[in-house]
Each structure stands twice: as C-alpha cells, then as structure tokens.
Amino acid sequence: MTAFSFEVTHTDGEARCGILKTPHGDIETPVFMPVGTQAAVKAMDPRELETLGAQVVLSNTYHLMMRPGSEVIQKAGGLHAFMNWSKPILTDSGGYQVYSLSKLRNIKEEGVYFRSHLDGRSILLSPEKSIEIQESLGADILMTFDECPPYPATEQEVESAVDLSIRWAKRCKEFKKRKDQALFGIIQGGLFKDLRQKSLENMIEFNFEGYALGGLSVGEDMPSMHEIVSMFAPRLPAEKPRYLMGVGRPTDILECISSGMDMFDCVMPTRNARNGSLFTSFGKINIANEKYKFDMNPLDFECTCYTCSHFSRAYLRHLFMSGEILSARLNTLHNLSFYVSLLRVIRDAIKNKNLQAFRKKFYESRGV
C-alpha cells in the first residue's frame, strides 16, 4: 500500500468529494487549509486547530529556510514534531515569494537569487534546493518550484514563466528522493488560455501525485478567475487531487468547488480576523462598527464555535478597539471555524447531490 493515494467518493456535477490518504492521516475533500507560513497559524495553537476541525495546514519553504532554518527543524524531528501538529502538512515551494518578493529577487535558469527580507544576504533557491528543504521538513505534500507571474503581465512574460516552470518542474521530479511524500505540479499561464493549456499538457506528462492551478487571485477580476478555473479544473486528471492556490473568499471557494477543485488555502480568514473583519452566515461584518457597541448578541447565531458560544458582539468589539491580544485569538478562531464548517457543509451537499440548492441558499442568505 502506498503512503499517498486519492479516491473520488462522490460527485455532483463537476463538484467532487474525495479521500486523500497521507502518512499523517486522511483528508476529506473539498478542504480548506489554514495557512501556517512560519510553522504557526497566527493566533492559534495546534490543539485549537484540531478542535475546530482543521485537517491539514500549509507552511512555507522560503520563510522556514530563512528562519529558523531547515537544519533546526530537521534536528527537532521534522516540521510535525517542531510545531506539534500530528495531521498532514503541505509546504509551498517558495514559488509564491518569486511573485510576492519581486523587488528582492533575480530570476535565473538555475533558480531565484533572493536578497533576504531579514538581513539582506543573498540566497539561491533552486528547484533542487526547494525539494531538498521540503523533504527535510517532512511535509506530506510538496509543491514544485515555479515562477508565478504578476498581473497584469504580457503574453510573452507569462509564456516565459510557463516555460521556466515546466523546466523547473522536471528538475523537481528528477531530484525528489523520498517515496513517502507526494509532489504536486503547478499549472501556470495567467489568463491566457492557450498558455494554461500548454502548461497543463506538459505538467500532466510528469505524472505528479496531484495538480494545482497557480497564478490566480493575484489582482485579476474574479469573473476572469472563475472562467479559467471552470475551464481548466475539469481538464486536470480526474483521479488526482486538484488544488487551487491562494483563493479564499467563501464565494470563490464555493464556485471553484462547483467547477471541480478539491483543495484551497488563503490567509484571508486569519488576516481578516486580526483586522476585525469577520465571516458569518449572513455575510462579512466589521466588528469595529459603532452599531455593535451595545450589541449583546452572539456574533453568529448559526455558529457553534467557542467565540460565538461564549462572547457577545459588544465584547468582541471592545477587545478589538482596545487592541487586546484576545481579540485576534477569538476572531481567528471564529473565522477558521466558519471556513472549516462551510467546507463540511459543502461536502455534505455534494454527497447528497444538492449542491446547487445549497448554493442558492448560500447567496440568498447574503442578499446576493
């Protein structure tokens, strides 16, 4: 029996439910992965994440390479032991930093030369180095190192990124040694459909254990993003997990699940929580709003998380306006609970073949 496998268990149109088996446990898809960039999901401890139902977390190769260094984590026994998280982990390859840290990097064929955002030293992150670090971290799912082009970009620039990402993916595949970790390939191409198709066809030839659509939600309009996902999700291998990188608005997740995607990650629930922006069954609210000053109701009557079960909107507003650390913790706990619960309800809807009915109700509850 292999350490990694994926099985589609239910379908409703293009939407799917599945079981993704990893050495650290099974993952029910569709799934949302809380982001723990630096081996920690901001404001949360691992016990809380497990209690609210998180199945898998994401960490970042570039940031862990910079601090504390992969050698430290390896000495601790790997990333699971280091952060005391017993469930699956997916590591980003560092490819997103090629996009997000564009002012601090120089792209070459051999890899990317970064000027450290911490101390200014020059560091080369190559496809081989990315895989070496991810293997040493001990993540269950690794990502190929790629170039994520910005938006907007010319067709020539995007094609260059696609071609480079294909060559780098080949190097990642050839360098990978461990058999107990899965490697996902990333489809790039921006909004250029012919380049997306080129990337997809080349990546499929490598026969990765899973595939991701990358380079979306980087500034393009949402209808264009949805069009790309709805066109290319069904073209990805049906027997492999499909991961949509960095897309995190609840409406976008719902639409992209309907198109056939299985896995999602985004900093939105945690970052928004720290800024007082909270997701509810009736839409997003800003807890700093004056109207909540005397509101003794729970944040969301339909939510059973610890925050909603124990505290009022007035108290959450007070904590936020006072700059209390507890504000970030309670808000984050709620937002992540909302996301995890939303994905659980969507899975149930797919299993019962009533996703479209749920989708209609979801939008009606938000006045859309």
Greatest Cα pair distance, the chain, in angstroms, is: 61
Provide, for the chain, the percentages of residues in helix, strand and coil under a 3-state DSSP scheme, each rounded to the nearest 5.
45, 20, 35
329-359 per-position pLDDT tens digit: 999 999 999 999 999 999 999 999 999 999 9
Q: Are 136 and 70 in contact (CB under 8 A)?
A: yes
Q: Are 256 and 244 in contact (CB under 8 A)?
A: yes
Strand ranges (E), 104-246: 105-108, 111-115, 122-125, 141-143, 182-187, 210-213, 242-244
In angstroms, how far is CA 77 from the centroid of its own chain? 24
Query: What's the confidence (pLDDT) of residue 365?
Result: 92
119 is a catalytic site residue: no
75-86 per-position pLDDT tens digit: 999 999 999 999
Domain residue extents for the chain: 5-265, 273-365
- The single-letter code of the amino acid at 88 is P
- The single-letter code of the amino acid at 241 is P
Q: Are 280 and 301 in contact (CB under 8 A)?
A: no
CATH architecture designation of domain 5-265 = Alpha-Beta Barrel (3.20)
Give the whole-angstrom CA distance, residue 137 versus residue 77: 8
93-141 per-position pLDDT tens digit: 999 999 999 999 999 999 999 999 999 999 999 999 999 999 999 999 9
Give the whole-angstrom CA distance, residue 287 versus residue 315: 10
- In sequence order, which residues have a C-beta less than 8 Å from that of residue 304 and are 6 or more positions away? none
Question: For 194-208, what is the mean pLDDT?
Answer: 98
Average pLDDT, the chain: 97
Q: Are strands 277-280 and 263-265 parallel, antiparallel or unpaired?
A: unpaired
Radius of gyration of the chain (CA): 20
* Cβ atoms within 10 Å of 22's Cβ, excluding its own: 23
- The single-letter code of the amino acid at 294 is F
Burial class (CB in 10 A: 0-12, 13-18, 19+), 329: buried
Choosing from 140, 252, 265, 300, the catalytic residue is 265
Choosing from 92, 252, 262, 300, the catalytic residue is 92
Q: Are 234 and 260 in contact (CB under 8 A)?
A: yes
Percent of the chain surpassing pLDDT 70: 99
Query: What's the confidence (pLDDT) of residue 134?
Result: 98
* Cβ atoms within 10 Å of 323's Cβ, excluding its own: 8
Query: What's the confidence (pLDDT) of residue 30?
Result: 99
26 is a catalytic site residue: no
Query: What's the confidence (pLDDT) of residue 1?
Result: 47
In angstroms, how far is CA 103 from the centroid of its own chain? 24
